[in-house]
Amino acid sequence: MNYSEDRIAQLGKEIETVMNNLMTFRTRIGFTAMTGPFIIVGSVLIATGGKIQMPDLKEPELWIAAALCLITYVILGEYGGTLDAQMTEKCDEWREAIVEISQGREPPAKLLMFHHRNKPAYRWGFGLILVAVISAGFCISKVLQSETEAGTLPIKTSVTTTSAAAQAPTSQAPATQTPR
């Protein structure tokens, strides 16, 4: 193998690694985004025993929390798309570099370097997740609060019972038999 073939093999391996990571990223995000809301709804149904008493829909805090949850969910989709786009663009640049190398030309250095422009996006992404979790938690607490107020929330209490033998007085003297 000569120097050009080594560089092409290295760039091909970089592309393969990034694409594998991208597929893993898409799978994890897709699974979370598609199942997350159902897990939340299922948790509320289990907590309430399947009987949901809707909270007062006139409360502005509930609408604000629900809107925040929805907005952050949509923005998180955009966030995932930007991360996806950067990886795809970088692979396209590496493919362009492979073409340059295979034609005997030296590719520009900018095609070979990976400048991560999405570092601040990770902070914003985790901040959005935090807002979504807090908003969803607020909505769930409102549903559970209305369940408690309506008396339909199945509250499990621990009641201990004791047997009759344990409740019998123990201060009695043992019965004795008299000889005949």
Q: 56-94, pLDDT tens digit by residue? A: 778 888 888 888 888 887 887 787 788 788 888 888 888
Query: The tokens of 122 are what?
Result: 């990770």
Q: 133-165, pLDDT tens digit by residue? A: 888 778 777 777 766 666 655 555 444 545 444
Q: 17-62, pLDDT tens digit by residue? A: 888 888 888 888 777 777 777 787 777 777 777 676 667 778 888 8
Locate tokens 């990976």: which residue? 114
Q: What is the pLDDT of residue 159?
A: 46
3-class secondary-structure state, position 53: coil
Under DSSP, the state recorded for 169 is -
Whether 52 and 143 have beta carbons less than 8 Å apart is answered as: yes
Using alpha carbons, select from 88, 95, 69 the residue that is nearest to residue 26. Answer: 88
Angle between helices 60-102 and 119-150 (to 10 degrees): 150
Locate tokens 């030296």: which residue? 106
Phi, psi of 48 (to 5 degrees): -95, 0
Using alpha carbons, select from 80, 91, 82, 90 the residue that is nearest to residue 26. Answer: 80
Using alpha carbons, select from 12, 1, 3 the residue that is nearest to residue 97. Answer: 12
